[in-house]
Amino acid sequence: MRLEGERILVIGGTRGIGLATARAAAEAGASVVIAGRDPAKLARALESLPETAEGRLVDATDRAALDRLAAVIGRLDHLVLSLAAGGGAGAFRALDIAGLRKIVEGKAWAFLEALQAFLPALRSNGSVTFVTAATARAAFPGTVGIAFNNGALNAVVPPLAVELAPLRVNAVCPGVIETPIFATWPEAERERFFARARAAPLGRPGRPEEVAQAVLALLANSYVTGVLVEVDGGLRFTAPRD
């Protein structure tokens, strides 16, 4: 899978799945631009990428900032959205709905704003990949908030693929992947998710590099559009009980 001559922007590319995707794309010969909000995270991420990698600071919840970046970014062949505010897990009866609004603004809303902002910069037959979540379709208790946020994005992939063609629009849906996103989760909630991953057919949490490989396949394959690809070790086949 080679991506020589292709330029890829990864928003949420300074850590976890986004950074692994940027690294894999650079190894496949692409020019990568990574973006996130925190300058320290961005600097650390750039140190781990080839010297040709570029970094940009942007908050994807700030449309004016996205538009400013889009105006100067130059030509893009692919856009990968791998950002999230994080959180949203917990039993529905006690779910903080006002808090969930912020979480959705930090992912589903931000993805739409970012896609719209960067459309003029994208090659007409390039691609967009959303990193959503397998939990949106796995029906585990305590995942209503996550399903709401990511299910909305999964739902718009097919109509976007039709409306924006020949631009290709796809989603990768990770299961439980070992990234720093879990660092701020309550211990019991985190352990519940990791226990589910251990109970899944492949018996372990995934690695960011494994999700990155699926993203790369979608970037490279010029005849795939409108699909949701689960990278979850079979998590969605495990019985939805705790």
Tell me whether residue 63 or residue 123 sits nearer to ligand NAP (CB atom). Answer: 63
How deeply is 18 buried, as exposed, middle or buried, from its count of CB atoms within 10 A (0-12, 13-18, 19+)?
buried
Contact positions with ligand NAP (CB under 6 A) in 209-238: none
> Is the preceding peptide bond at 50 cis, omega within 30 degrees of 0?
no
Fill in the DSSP letter of residue 226. Answer: S
Whole-angstrom distance, CA of residue 17 vs CA of residue 51 = 20
Given the rule CB under 6 A, which of 118-126, 159-167, 173-181, 213-221 is the region that contacts ligand NAP? 173-181
Of 55, 90, 106, 233, the residue at the interface with ligand NAP (CB under 6 A) is 106
Which one of residues 3, 9, 11, 49 is an interface residue with ligand NAP (CB under 6 A)? Answer: 11
- Using CB under 6 A as the binding rule, whether residue 129 contacts ligand NAP is answered as no
What are the Cα distances from residue 193, in Å, to 147, 182, 216? 14, 10, 26
Candidate segments 22-30, 76-84, 121-129, 156-164, binder of ligand NAP by CB under 6 A = 76-84
Angle in degrees, CA 81, 17, 83, rounded to 5: 35
β-bridge partners, 228: 171
Contacting residue, 41, 168, 196, 236, with ligand NAP by CB under 6 A: 41
Q: Of residues 59, 137, 194, 202, which one binds ligand NAP by CB under 6 A?
A: 59
Indicate the helix (H) or strand (E) that contains 115. helix 110-118
Residue of 41, 47, 43, 37 whose CA lies nearest to 16: 41
Among 6, 8, 18, 142, contact with ligand NAP (rule: CB under 6 A):
18
Residue 107 as a binder of ligand NAP (CB under 6 A): the answer is yes
CB nearer ligand NAP, residue 106 or residue 233: 106
Question: CA 242, CA 239: separation in Å to the nearest integer?
Answer: 9
3-state SS assignment for residue 130: strand
Please identify, using beta-carbon distances, which residue of 126 and 205 lies nearer to ligand NAP. 205
C-beta of 142: minimal distance to ligand NAP in Å?
Answer: 14
Residue whose CB is less far from ligand NAP, 43 or 165: 43
Binding flag, residue 112, ligand NAP (CB under 6 A): no
Q: What is the pairing mode between strands 76-81 and 228-231?
A: unpaired
For ligand NAP, the binding residue among 50, 120, 166, 180 (CB under 6 A) is 180
Q: Which of 105, 95, 86 is nearest to 15 (CA)?
A: 86
Q: Can you give the binding site for ligand NAP, defined by CB under 6 A?
A: 11-12, 14-18, 36-38, 41, 58-61, 82-86, 106-107, 110, 131, 133, 174, 176-177, 179-181
